[in-house]
Amino acid sequence: MASDDIPESWREALEPALTTPEARKLGGWLRAEEDAGKTIFPPRGQRLAALAMTPLDKVKVVILGQDPYHGPGQAHGLAFSVQDGVKVPPSLVNIYKELESDCGIARPATGNLTPWAKQGVLLLNNTLTVQSGNAGSHAGRGWDAITDAAVAAVAERGDPTVFILWGSHAKKKGGRVRALGSGDHHLVLTSPHPSPLSAHGGFFGSRPFSQTNVFLEANGCGAVDWSLQ
């Protein structure tokens, strides 16, 4: 993974992470996996979409995911998002249910969250690639250093930011916000993951979308239009 691959607004912040042994091996390992005939999602050109669509200086909200969807045609580089025309996955169905309950926004027909990303919502997975049909298969291969550095770069800015952490994995990664001692001017919202396995344990009713907008407006940052219209 070369620095030239990283979108310009993120390059300086992520440069140190790209020099780690794991990160240096990542690009070569991905190429070797593809040369061996393995299908990797999302396809090349979309793996850094979250960073490309949401420049560092435009981030208002961070939503952390674990790794991309591993079904054909689903993942396109944004956490929890799928391409237009693809069936909305169960976790995103539950996110939409909470959005409707929280903000009165009717459930969108599309699972494509690009409009959120373009408004400053960084939809960042911890691991940015996955082998087809094999969830979690690229964990520990070098993405962690890069995405940890991205979270740290956002947290270290002076701009008030909302970190939405769903599930234990996101909470652990989002702990960097507090560990950096820079969390006093940020809002950190935590709840169980929206997966059908855990959503009824406190995700439903957590009201992350309205809380986010109250905080953003109070800090003069402008609310997010969650409607996906």
User: What amino acid positions are annotated as catalytic residues?
Assistant: 67
* Torsion (CA) 205, 100, 54, 31 in degrees, nearest 10: 80
Residue 151 phi/psi, 5-degree rounding, is -60, -45
Contact between 115 and 228 (Cβ < 8 Å):
yes
DSSP state of 219: T
Contact between 111 and 89 (Cβ < 8 Å):
yes
Helix axes 167-179 and 143-155, enclosed angle (nearest 10): 50
What DSSP letter does each residue of 94-141 carry, written as one string? HHHHHHHHHH-PPPPS----HHHHHTTEEEEESS--EETTBTTTTTTS
